[in-house]
Amino acid sequence: MARNAPLLNVITLDAEDIDSLKEFYVALGWPLTVDEELKVFELRGGVLALYPVERLARDGHAAPERGRNGIRFALEVLVGEPSEVDELAQCVERAGGRVTKPPVDADFFEGRSCYFCDPEQNYFEVAWAPPDNLIFAAARRAASQTG
């Protein structure tokens, strides 16, 4: 269905303190593959990039948004087993992130999830769900349509 759609699997986060933010993701065990002014972490399916806030704003001809008071978006981290939700939550805390919703069996879908934010208040949902879950199915379909 999406074969003619553009490729959308990279998000660039602006970073106030890019070195500290990089270290947070390194501590999660995420693979850092570009470590220049732009930092690139390659996960399965998608890429998380970090770029200094003033540079991103200048590049986009926009003002930087400095509000860091809550959730604005969530990156979904989809894991293969329920126990990985708990393991990643523990890893986040050791790395200096904040688990805002401890791992629980989900209340409106079958599965297990938690939320955390990184040191600059970027939010992630870590989730496991059976293969027929709508979002998991969409993620896998999208990931398979990259040719």
Positions in 80-119 near a copy of itself (CB under 8 A): 80, 84, 88, 100-101, 115, 117
Q: Which is nearer to a copy of itself, 24 or 122 (CB)?
A: 122
Instruction: Report if residue 3 touches a copy of itself, rule: CB under 8 A.
Output: yes
Instruction: Report if residue 59 touches a copy of itself, rule: CB under 8 A.
Output: yes
Other beta carbons within 10 angstroms of residue 20's beta carbon come to: 13
What pairs with residue 145 in β-bridges? Answer: none
Instruction: Report if residue 138 touches a copy of itself, rule: CB under 8 A.
Output: yes
- What is the closest distance, in whole angstroms, from the C-beta atom of residue 33 to a copy of itself in the complex? 6
The answer to whether residues 41 and 47 touch, using CB atoms and an 8 Å cutoff, is yes
Task: Kindly state the tokens that stand for 25.
Answer: 């993701």
Pairwise CA distance, residues 96 & 107, whole Å: 27
Instruction: Report if residue 121 touches a copy of itself, rule: CB under 8 A.
Output: yes
Instruction: Report if residue 34 touches a copy of itself, rule: CB under 8 A.
Output: yes
